[in-house]
Amino acid sequence: MNRDQIEGQWKQLMGEAKRQWGKLTDDDLKQVDGDHDKLVGAIQEKYGKSREEAEREVEEWQGSGV
Protein backbone atom coordinates (compact mmCIF):
# COMPACT_ATOMS: atom_id res chain seq x y z
CA MET A 1 0.00 0.00 0.00
CA ASN A 2 1.46 3.37 -0.94
CA ARG A 3 1.31 6.68 0.90
CA ASP A 4 -1.61 8.05 -1.11
CA GLN A 5 -3.69 4.96 -0.40
CA ILE A 6 -2.94 5.21 3.32
CA GLU A 7 -3.92 8.87 3.40
CA GLY A 8 -7.16 8.10 1.55
CA GLN A 9 -8.09 5.19 3.81
CA TRP A 10 -6.72 6.50 7.10
CA LYS A 11 -9.98 6.26 9.07
CA GLN A 12 -10.20 2.55 8.25
CA LEU A 13 -6.50 2.00 8.95
CA MET A 14 -6.40 3.75 12.33
CA GLY A 15 -7.35 0.52 14.10
CA GLU A 16 -4.53 -1.36 12.39
CA ALA A 17 -2.07 1.38 13.31
CA LYS A 18 -3.29 1.27 16.92
CA ARG A 19 -2.70 -2.50 17.04
CA GLN A 20 0.79 -2.05 15.56
CA TRP A 21 1.77 0.86 17.83
CA GLY A 22 -0.34 0.54 20.98
CA LYS A 23 1.23 3.53 22.68
CA LEU A 24 -0.31 5.85 20.10
CA THR A 25 -3.56 7.30 21.39
CA ASP A 26 -6.67 7.95 19.35
CA ASP A 27 -5.79 11.66 19.49
CA ASP A 28 -2.29 10.91 18.17
CA LEU A 29 -3.76 8.96 15.28
CA LYS A 30 -6.32 11.67 14.50
CA GLN A 31 -3.52 14.23 14.35
CA VAL A 32 -1.50 11.98 12.03
CA ASP A 33 -4.50 11.91 9.66
CA GLY A 34 -2.73 9.51 7.30
CA ASP A 35 0.38 11.68 6.91
CA HIS A 36 3.45 9.46 6.65
CA ASP A 37 5.84 11.95 8.24
CA LYS A 38 3.48 12.69 11.11
CA LEU A 39 3.10 8.97 11.80
CA VAL A 40 6.88 8.52 11.84
CA GLY A 41 7.20 11.49 14.20
CA ALA A 42 4.52 10.18 16.55
CA ILE A 43 6.24 6.77 16.72
CA GLN A 44 9.57 8.45 17.41
CA GLU A 45 8.08 10.47 20.24
CA LYS A 46 6.07 7.70 21.92
CA TYR A 47 8.66 4.95 21.57
CA GLY A 48 11.90 6.93 21.78
CA LYS A 49 13.10 5.55 18.45
CA SER A 50 15.39 7.17 15.94
CA ARG A 51 13.89 8.64 12.79
CA GLU A 52 15.41 5.79 10.80
CA GLU A 53 13.93 3.10 13.06
CA ALA A 54 10.48 4.65 12.99
CA GLU A 55 10.68 5.14 9.22
CA ARG A 56 11.64 1.49 8.75
CA GLU A 57 8.70 0.32 10.88
CA VAL A 58 6.22 2.42 8.94
CA GLU A 59 7.64 1.23 5.61
CA GLU A 60 7.35 -2.41 6.74
CA TRP A 61 3.80 -1.78 7.97
CA GLN A 62 2.85 -0.22 4.64
CA GLY A 63 4.51 -3.06 2.74
CA SER A 64 2.60 -5.67 4.70
CA GLY A 65 -0.56 -4.66 2.89
CA VAL A 66 -1.95 -3.28 6.14
Residue with the bigger pLDDT between 3 and 52: it is 52
Show me where the domains of the chain are located. 3-63
Contact 54, 36 (CB under 8 A): no
- pLDDT for position 59: 92
pLDDT at 3: 76
Q: Give the pLDDT of residue 66.
A: 65
Looking at 1.10.1470.10, 1.10.3720.10, 3.50.50.60, 1.10.1740.10, the CATH number of the domain 3-63 comes to 1.10.1470.10
Read off the pTM: 0.85
CB of 2 closer than 8 Å to CB of 62:
yes
Band (pLDDT 50/70/90 cuts) for residue 51 is: very high
Check if the beta carbon of residue 48 is closer than 8 Å to that of residue 57. Answer: no
